[in-house]
């Protein structure tokens, strides 16, 4: 990666000597034969390295033709990189641990450290970081150190789909140390292929000399047979999450049905909004339709639109109610412990209570039960609603309280 340095770059000079100067071939003290200069970015600023190269003074020694570089150079930066290890680790950590985008990494490097790198260069460094990380992740020595104090291990296997349409990634994790052991994308997850992964996990456990006390999975057939074959006698338990999800399936089906029913009942939002906007547009008009029997409908769902400026807040309230109800109807969040339909029913109840509170304020103590209000409101003929002027005035007073 050739790097173009601006002419006015202020470099710090770091001079590096060969520390062990004995000729590796004959043991004679080596001489400095040349200097190599290189420039690189560090988090402390731009650096110019001056590397003193050594060789054996004896022309007949094999150590004469071969120069030796200062040992420390490789600990500052890999050969021919424009950045030091510190910048490299900074980039890799931002990407892999904090999931920052390349443009964001690029701008932070420039803003915080004055390091200007192209997005291509950053992408290449990230790729190298990932290769190193993967190698490190499976390094047997590092793994052995991590498991030194562990007596028994618990393994889990699961298939993940990283992106739609991509092959499933099978991941084997060890749960006591919360560590991913390995992951493989299986194009066809046959029982044999899955068992191969489980056998690989067995090899790892054997090489660590650890007893596997438990396996956890969603218990799909390939896992059940594979684990039984490779780990006879080792218990195989359901993953809590999957277990709950499977158990909740009938509940979620009923919940989904309830949602459909609620959605079919709570309708007419668009018409309410259109009526509101129409009134807003009819600013000049002061003689609106008189008391229309359907006018109460719109009041029930929310205060209606006044054309005059003091009452603007009332139409905003109606639109806010509509937006809130639409949000509730479109919300699909919630897991088995808090199903979406239940959330929807709770939220709609809150809206109904809120509207009822408005009505109570307007009419004094309401003579209706709140449950009677909602069905009326949701089935009303919104398009014909034309609240009278007196109603506007009432609503605007209420909404300003």
Q: Which residues bind Zn ion (CB under 5 A)?
A: 23, 25-26, 28, 56, 58, 61, 63
Q: How far is the CB of 28 from Zn ion (least distance, A)?
A: 5
Q: Which residue has tokens 């992106």?
A: 163
Q: Taking the complex as a whole, how short is the minimal distance between the CB of residue 30 and Zn ion, in angstroms?
A: 7
Residue 54, beta-bridge partner list: 32, 68
Which of 59, 164 has the CB closer to Zn ion? 59
Q: How far is the CB of 55 from Zn ion (least distance, A)?
A: 8
Closest distance of CB 33 from Zn ion, Å = 12
Residue closer to Zn ion by CB (options 22, 108) is 22
Strand order in the sheet with 168-174: 179-186, 168-174, 152-160, 211-217, 236-238
In the complex, what is the shortest distance from the CB of residue 50 to Zn ion, in angstroms, rounded to a whole number? 24
Q: Is 181 helix (H, G, I), strand (E, B) or coil?
A: strand
Nearest Cα to Cα of residue 125 among 6, 3, 234, 1? 1
By beta-carbon proximity to Zn ion, the closer residue of 58 and 312 is 58
Q: Considering the complex, what minimum distance in angstroms separates the CB of residue 15 from Zn ion?
A: 24
Looking at the Cβ atoms of 25 and 254, the one nearer to Zn ion is 25
> Angle 340-363/240-265 helices, nearest 10 degrees?
40
- Assigned token pair, 207: 């090489």
**Cβ-based nearer residue to Zn ion, 26 or 154:** 26
Q: What 3-state DSSP class applies to 266?
A: coil
Nearer to Zn ion, 28 or 263 (CB): 28
Q: Which residues contact 204 (CB under 8 A, 6 or more apart)?
A: 143, 181, 182
Angle, in degrees to the nearest 10, between helices 85-96 and 102-113: 140
């Amino acid at each position: 990666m050739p790097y173009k340095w601006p002419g006015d770059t202020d470099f710090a000079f770091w001079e590096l000597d060969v520390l062990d100067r004995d000729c590796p071939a004959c043991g004679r003290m080596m001489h400095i034969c040349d200097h190599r200069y290189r420039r690189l970015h560090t988090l402390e600023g731009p650096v110019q390295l001056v590397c003193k190269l050594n060789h054996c003074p004896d022309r007949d020694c094999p150590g004469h033709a071969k120069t030796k570089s200062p040992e420390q150079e490789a600990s500052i930066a890999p050969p021919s990189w424009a950045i030091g290890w510190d910048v490299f680790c900074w980039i890799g950590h931002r990407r892999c641990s904090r999931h920052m985008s390349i443009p964001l990494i690029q701008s932070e490097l420039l803003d915080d450290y004055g390091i200007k790198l192209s997005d291509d260069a950053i992408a290449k460094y990230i790729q190298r970081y990932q290769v190193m990380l993967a190698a490190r992740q499976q390094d047997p020595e590092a793994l052995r150190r991590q498991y030194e104090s562990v007596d028994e291990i618990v393994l889990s296997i699961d298939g993940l789909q990283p992106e739609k349409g991509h092959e499933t990634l099978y991941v084997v994790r060890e749960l006591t140390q919360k560590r991913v052991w390995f992951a493989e994308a299986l194009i066809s997850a046959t029982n044999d292929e899955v068992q191969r992964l489980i056998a690989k996990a067995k090899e790892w456990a054997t090489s660590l000399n650890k007893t596997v006390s438990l396996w956890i999975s969603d218990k799909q057939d390939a896992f059940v047979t594979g684990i039984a074959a490779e780990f006879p006698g080792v218990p195989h338990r359901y993953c809590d999450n999957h277990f709950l999800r499977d158990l909740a399936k009938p509940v979620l089906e009923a919940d989904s049905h309830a949602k459909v029913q609620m959605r079919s009942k709570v309708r007419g939002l668009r018409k309410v909004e259109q009526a509101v906007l129409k009134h807003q547009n009819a600013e000049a008009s002061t003689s609106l339709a008189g008391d229309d029997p359907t006018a109460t409908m719109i009041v029930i769902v929310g205060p209606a639109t006044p054309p005059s400026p003091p009452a603007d807040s009332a139409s905003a309230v109606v639109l806010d109610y509509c937006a809130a109800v639409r949000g509730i109807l479109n919300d699909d969040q919630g897991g088995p412990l808090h199903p979406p339909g239940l959330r929807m029913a709770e939220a709609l109840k809150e809206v109904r209570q809120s509207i009822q509170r408005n009505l109570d304020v307007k009419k004094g103590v309401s003579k209706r039960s709140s449950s009677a209000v909602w069905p009326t409101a949701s089935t009303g003929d919104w398009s014909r609603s034309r609240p009278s002027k007196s109603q506007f005035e009432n609503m605007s007073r209420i909404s300003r309280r």
